[in-house]
């Protein structure tokens, strides 16, 4: 009797929280049914997947004088944005609405004077990254969703040991679930050589229910505050040797040099403070002001469950709505939700050439059928869909109008929009956009286009699997 009363009171409390945290009506009704129809199980599911972390944040940005001064500068920049447009290249002027949005929702400014190098696939990325880390003089900061033991990790560990002996500081952040297979032996080896490392939201008793669904999916490398890397590539031998089930993992990473690296370092510093509790990286010596290094204008967008707005979703939504001629998309996880789905369909129906490329193989069977559950309405709206057959295409790329491109860590799914900490680089540069377009066309030549007539002939059991998988879309 006592347990029943306590359960009823706690369920009532969760229902009150559900109303107070302000989720969409349909989602609210869904969670009400789960809580009422699935005793105990529904409660655990709600604590894991139902809490609105944007309203009930993990943490808030430490307002040190340096951070406060930066945020004031961002606010001043936003207020004078239109007056400053003449100082920016035509590519940014063309997508001024998007740039203005990213200043507001992510507090990150666009920077001119950057050098952007596209790094296609693992071998090119790791050779460039290791070479830059070998030249480090002050610090190396790394952050990965997956940091996996193997030949590549051993090679990095050897480099860390050499650089630490030279007086270089090495810091490593890894996600508590994405890198859960890291052994204590390997972590002890890194700590003993002097690597400062932390797991982001590790699996701990008391935390697991409320944090297991919220992951840090960012991939960041910074060398001396002057050179930065971000994109879709994790530290794993599968990027070099392939995967027994999926084959070679294809991906895109960026090497950035110039003022925008300051933004990348700021994102890392905030994540470091979250994981370690230390504000050391908020100090000035870790935030150098790199000299101009190239012709590109770059703006970062960082989003996560601790941010005020769904910055990544708003970025993709605005990019799709602002395109005039074409939008080419490569993404392995397309579970777009209502807003981005409508933006894809609206763009295509209005005459924009919208092409969506996804891998034919998937690393998760539920994800596979959930992605395919959106194909029919996309095809009916004249979005062209291409299936890439050779290995696993893991890139997260958008290209628009030969003017702008986005490369980063964020998928087109609810998890990247609401639950993961993500970072994308928005590149206002015609040459880079055209290089990425050429890369897209290479993949296109190897891909199979899926046509509506063919898709409508799929077996009934495929339709059933799609319908069932779609129910799980919000938590995939």
pLDDT given at position 39: 66
> Which CATH class for the 65-94+111-297 domain?
alpha beta
Query: 392 and 250 in contact (C-beta within 8 Å)?
Result: yes
Going from N- to C-terminal start, the domains of the chain cover: 2-50, 65-94+111-297, 311-475
The mean per-residue pLDDT over the stretch 265-276 comes to 93
Query: Which has more pLDDT, 240 or 469?
Result: 240
> Is residue 213 pLDDT above 60, yes or no?
yes
19 pLDDT tier (thresholds 50, 70, 90)? low
pLDDT given at position 475: 55
The torsion of the CA quartet 97, 92, 302, 276, rounded to 10 degrees, works out to -140
Q: 65-94+111-297 and 311-475 share one CATH topology?
A: yes
The mean per-residue pLDDT over the stretch 403-417 comes to 95
Q: Mean pLDDT across the chain, nearest whole number? A: 88
Q: Which residues are catalytic?
A: 217, 219, 224, 394, 396, 401
33 pLDDT tier (thresholds 50, 70, 90)? low
Please indicate, yes or no, whether the overall pTM of this predicted structure exceeds 0.95. no
- Tell me which of 64-78, 160-174, 457-471 is least confident: 64-78
The mean per-residue pLDDT over the stretch 85-103 comes to 94
- Tell me which of 55-64, 218-227, 380-389, 395-404 is least confident: 55-64
> Is residue 218 pLDDT above 80, yes or no?
yes
> Is residue 243 pLDDT above 90, yes or no?
no
Largest Cα–Cα distance in the chain? 71
Query: Which has more pLDDT, 247 or 354?
Result: 354
Query: Which has more pLDDT, 128 or 418?
Result: 128
pLDDT given at position 35: 62
**Could you report the per-residue pLDDT of 320-347, keeping only the tens digit for each?**
999 999 999 999 999 998 999 999 999 9
69 pLDDT tier (thresholds 50, 70, 90)? confident
**Could you report the per-residue pLDDT of 162-190, keeping only the tens digit for each?**
999 999 999 999 999 999 999 999 999 99
Query: Which has more pLDDT, 475 or 68?
Result: 68
pLDDT given at position 473: 66
The mean per-residue pLDDT over the stretch 241-259 comes to 93
- Tell me which of 98-102, 215-219, 304-308 is least confident: 304-308
pLDDT given at position 308: 84
126 pLDDT tier (thresholds 50, 70, 90)? very high
According to CATH, the superfamily of the domain at 311-475 is Endonuclease Chain A (3.30.870.10)
Q: Percent of the chain having pLDDT more than 90?
A: 67
3-state secondary structure the chain: CHHHHHHHHHHHHHHHHHHHCCCCHHHHHHHHHHHHHCCCHHHHHHHHHHCCCCCCCCCCCCCCHHHHHHHHHHHHHHHCHHHHHHHCCHHHHHCHHHHHHHHHHHCCCCEEEEEEEEEECHHHHHHHHHHHHHCCCCEEEEEECCECCCHHHHHHHHHHHHHHHCCCEEEEEEECCCCCCCCHHHHHHHHHHCCEEEEECCCCCCCHHHHCCCCECCCEEEECCCEEEEECCCECCHHHHCECCCECEECEEEEEECCCHHHHHHHHHHHHHHHHCCCHHHCHHHCCCCCCCCCEEEEEEEECCCCCCCHHHHHHHHHHHHCCCEEEEECCCEECHHHHHHHHHHHHHCCCEEEEEEECCCCCHHHHHHHHCCHHHHHHCCCEEEEECCCEECCCEEEECCCEEEEECCCEEHHHHHHCEEEEEEEECHHHHHHHHHHHHHHHHHCEEECHHHHHCCCHHHHHHHHHHHHCHHHC
> Is residue 217 pLDDT above 90, yes or no?
yes
The mean per-residue pLDDT over the stretch 227-253 comes to 94
């Amino acid at each position: 009797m006592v347990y029943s009363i306590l359960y009823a009171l706690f369920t009532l409390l969760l229902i009150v929280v559900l109303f107070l945290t302000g989720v969409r009506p349909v989602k609210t009704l869904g969670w009400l049914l789960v809580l009422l129809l699935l005793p105990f199980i529904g409660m655990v599911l709600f604590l894991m997947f139902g809490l609105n972390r944007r309203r009930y944040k993990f943490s808030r940005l430490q307002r040190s004088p340096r951070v406060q001064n930066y945020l004031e500068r961002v606010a001043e920049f936003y207020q004078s944005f239109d007056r400053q447009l003449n100082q920016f290249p035509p590519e940014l002027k063309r997508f001024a609405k998007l740039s203005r949005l990213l200043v507001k929702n992510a507090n990150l400014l666009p920077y001119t004077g950057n050098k952007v190098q596209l790094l296609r696939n693992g071998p090119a990325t790791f050779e460039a990254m290791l070479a830059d880390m070998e030249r480090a003089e002050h610090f190396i900061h790394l952050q990965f969703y997956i940091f996996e033991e193997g030949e590549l990790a051993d090679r990095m560990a050897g480099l860390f040991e050499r650089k630490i002996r030279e007086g270089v500081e090495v810091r490593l952040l890894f996600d508590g679930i994405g890198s859960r297979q890291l052994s204590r032996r390997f972590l002890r080896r890194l700590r003993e050589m002097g690597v400062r490392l932390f797991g982001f939201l590790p699996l701990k008793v008391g935390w697991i229910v409320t944090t297991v669904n919220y992951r840090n999916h960012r991939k960041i490398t910074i060398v001396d505050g002057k050179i930065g890397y971000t994109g879709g590539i994790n530290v794993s031998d599968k990027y070099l040797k392939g995967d027994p089930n999926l084959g070679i993992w294809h991906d895109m990473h960026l090497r950035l040099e110039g003022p925008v690296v300051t933004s990348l370092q700021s994102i890392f510093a905030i994540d470091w403070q979250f994981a370690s509790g230390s504000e050391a990286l908020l100090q000035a010596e870790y935030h150098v002001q790199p000299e101009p290094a190239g012709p590109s204008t770059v703006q970062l967008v960082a989003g996560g469950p601790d941010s005020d707005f769904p910055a990544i979703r708003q970025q993709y939504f605005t990019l799709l709505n602002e395109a005039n001629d074409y939008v080419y998309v490569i993404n392995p996880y397309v579970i777009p939700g209502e807003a981005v789905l409508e933006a894809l369909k609206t763009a295509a129906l209005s005459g924009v050439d919208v092409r969506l490329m996804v891998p034919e193989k998937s690393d998760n069977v539920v994800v596979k059928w959930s992605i395919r559950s959106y194909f029919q309405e996309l095809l009916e709206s004249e979005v062209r869909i291409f299936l890439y057959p050779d290995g696993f295409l893991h890139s997260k790329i958008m290209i628009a109008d030969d003017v702008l491109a986005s490369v980063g860590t964020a998928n087109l799914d609810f998890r990247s929009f609401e639950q993961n900490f993500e970072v994308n680089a928005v590149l206002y540069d015609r040459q880079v956009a055209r290089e990425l377009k050429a890369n897209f066309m290479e993949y296109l030549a190897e891909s199979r286009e899926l046509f509506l007539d063919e898709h409508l002939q799929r077996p009934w059991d495929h339709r059933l699997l799609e319908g069932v998988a779609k129910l799980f879309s919000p938590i995939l």
